[in-house]
A and B are shown apart, each in its own frame.
Chain A
Amino acid sequence: MTLDVRDLRVEFPTRRGTLTALDGISFSIAPGEVLGVVGESGAGKSITGLAIIGLLEPPGRIAGGEVRLEGKRIDNLPHDQLRRLRGRQIGVIFQDPLTSLNPLYTIGRQLEETILAHLPLSRAQARAKALGLLREVGIPAPEARYAHYPHQFSGGMRQRVVIALALAAEPRLLIADEPTTALDVSIQAQIIALLKRLAAERGAAVMLITHDMGVIAETAQRVAVMYAGRIVEIGAVRDVIHAPHHPYTAGLMGSIPRIAAKRTRLVQIDGAMPRLNAIPSGCAFHPRCTRRLERCLAERPDLVPAGASRAACWLHAAA
């Protein structure tokens, strides 16, 4: 396994007590595999990504569990070692390409610096590699664009540059947090195709964080559905989409509008995702759940086999 996360717990100590943002998160990603992490705002999907790369905003901290990259523990590494690891072995792509690029440097220079910081190459070799990367991510005429600044690129082209940057040091793990959310649908389709091709060609493990189940359906092999800081269902994308087992996943799938010949009323999950300081007891979804049982109010369910996937729901617990 390229990435192995076991029982990850993230806390935010505040004056009014400690908030638990993530609890009992476990999953792994194999080389060349794309794992989708899906959830609505506040589910904890971005915090999961940030915790893995050691970029939690203080006072947020990892309070339990472990993160292993190719078998080696990385959650307890000192700051400077982790920094070297990021970039070298983990590439990161954020939603807004403008925040990932320095507006004062040409994209060629940014790529070269990144390559030289991580790989033992000469400047000429780094330049050749940078041009190769730009070509690989589909920037037309990379030689001509090499000396251009980020503002001279369109949104879609900028995101391609960010992907090239993330790939510069040939990382084993790629974490993409909402990589297509800021883009128009025709550009999104191109970026999805690109991510998919690169993961397959390079054998890198990809953690794709998004709120968009459609993007997951197009890109990922497996998907983890998050709710209020926990994974509520995890399994092969096809199983989770066609036969969701957790009532939240089922509601989520039914609430997504689809282009279909016959129009039906959307499934509605009443209420909203709880805030971190008011996570309900037992199963955090129980106040919104139409199928809740007595024990859902008091006891918290763990992930158990449900059909071909695993779901954290008492409906699937062995009697």
Chain B
Amino acid sequence: MPLLRLENVTRDFDVSRPWLNRVLEHEPRRILRAVDQVSLEIENGETVGLVGESGCGKSTVARLIVGLYEPTAGRVEFRGRRLQMIFQDPYASLNPRWRVRDIVAEPMRFLGTTARVEDLLVQVGLSADDGEKYPHEFSGGQRQRISIARALAGEPDFLVCDEPTSALDVSVQAQILNLMSDLQQRLGLTYLFISHNLAVVSQVADRVGVMYLGRLAELAPAAALFSRPRHPYTRMLLDAVPDLGMSGRPRTPVRGEVPNPLAPPTGCTFHPRCPHSNERCRREVPVFADGVACHAVAEARI
């Protein structure tokens, strides 16, 4: 039985202008579908990565899972003990007026867990007496360690991490990624790891989902996804990643931009940028089956 299950989860946001403007200017309601029929299962102890460009809905999925948003349709089922979330910006997510020990102890007060703040700080690589300090006395990487200590204070078995290293320098990012993998082994944690950075996701994830305009385009074990991407969007994303090894491997130049999510293209929303699109792609939304949502793959055209 999976620890977490999303079943056809959809989330709409009403971004209409105020009622009076709509009436006077004869404007219809405008609905933004941030997440569209996403189904996903996460097993105990694994790390699932979710990648995609801005506006693809990956952060909305995170917020649906932890309950910050209610799904418009579909179901989110969590069978574990407790969820915690780690946010991207370690400057905004810690209260600057609180001492670190109070920040870390806050979940315990609400949840009645009994970990010791000192132990939690040591566990994330800080020193036990750092609890007396304020957040501004720490660098970005150390603050992200404080966020992790706070998340662990609630004794979670599932951590939702939304771009946890995107605000950090690469050498600090390496420290945090290594820490997260150590904690996973020591505490048996399950992660949903959200990032726009494919290389970071390839470093941590066992399975990877690729999102485009609110839909899941592809979901596969990490090794398969990065060595044999199937969806044309996954291929394009991989080709866009700078080639640090300077291998000079042949790559297809990237085309176009992510369309306006308020007026998404018909059929497969990727069709205007896809080199393999045809009449059916423009007309019909591809069904997610066997790990990929693409007509060309289903018809064995690519």
* Residues in chain A within 8 A of chain B (CB atoms): 40-41, 154, 156-157, 184-190, 192-193, 211-215, 217-218, 237-238, 241-242, 251-252, 254-261, 263, 265-270, 272-273
> Of B177, B223, B239, which contacts A257 at CB under 8 A?
B177
CB-CB contacts below 8 Å: B183-203 with A: 196-200, 202-203
* Residues in chain B within 8 A of chain A (CB atoms): 53-54, 139-142, 169-175, 177-178, 181, 196-200, 202-203, 223, 226-227, 236-246, 253-254, 257-258
Given the known interface contacts A156-B257, A184-B53, A266-B203, the answer about A252 and B242 at a Cβ–Cβ threshold of 8 Å is no
Contacts of A157 in B (CB 8 A): 257
Please state if B169 and A41 are interface contacts (CB–CB under 8 Å): yes
Please state if A186 and B237 are interface contacts (CB–CB under 8 Å): yes
Please state if A217 and B243 are interface contacts (CB–CB under 8 Å): yes
Contacts of A212 in B (CB 8 A): 242
Please state if B254 and A268 are interface contacts (CB–CB under 8 Å): no
Please state if B227 and A190 are interface contacts (CB–CB under 8 Å): no
Most buried by B among A184, A260, A267: A184
Contacts of A189 in B (CB 8 A): 239-240, 242, 253-254
- Prevailing SS type, chain B contact patch: helix
Please state if B241 and A237 are interface contacts (CB–CB under 8 Å): no
CB A187 to nearest CB in B, in angstroms, measures 6
Give the tally of cross-chain contacts (CB within 8 A): 119
Residue of A nearest to B233 (CB): A186
> Of A41, A184, A211, A270, which contacts B196 at CB under 8 A?
A184
CA distance A254 to B174 in the complex (A): 9
> Of A156, A188, A238, A272, which contacts B172 at CB under 8 A?
A272
Please state if B169 and A273 are interface contacts (CB–CB under 8 Å): yes
Please state if B242 and A193 are interface contacts (CB–CB under 8 Å): no
CB B51 to nearest CB in A, in angstroms, measures 9
CB B285 to nearest CB in A, in angstroms, measures 22
Please state if A257 and B243 are interface contacts (CB–CB under 8 Å): no
Given the known interface contacts A184-B54, A186-B53, A193-B253, the answer about A269 and B244 at a Cβ–Cβ threshold of 8 Å is no
Contacts of B53 in A (CB 8 A): 184-186
Most buried by A among B54, B173, B198, B240: B240
CA distance A218 to B251 in the complex (A): 12
A184-B258, A215-B242, A255-B173 provided; 18 other pairs, C-beta below 8 A? A40-B170, A154-B257, A185-B196, A186-B236, A188-B242, A189-B254, A190-B254, A241-B244, A241-B246, A252-B170, A257-B200, A258-B202, A259-B198, A259-B226, A266-B203, A268-B174, A269-B174, A272-B141
Contacts of A215 in B (CB 8 A): 242
Please state if A257 and B203 are interface contacts (CB–CB under 8 Å): yes
CA distance A190 to B258 in the complex (A): 13
CA distance A193 to B178 in the complex (A): 33
Please state if B242 and A192 are interface contacts (CB–CB under 8 Å): yes
Please state if B257 and A187 are interface contacts (CB–CB under 8 Å): yes
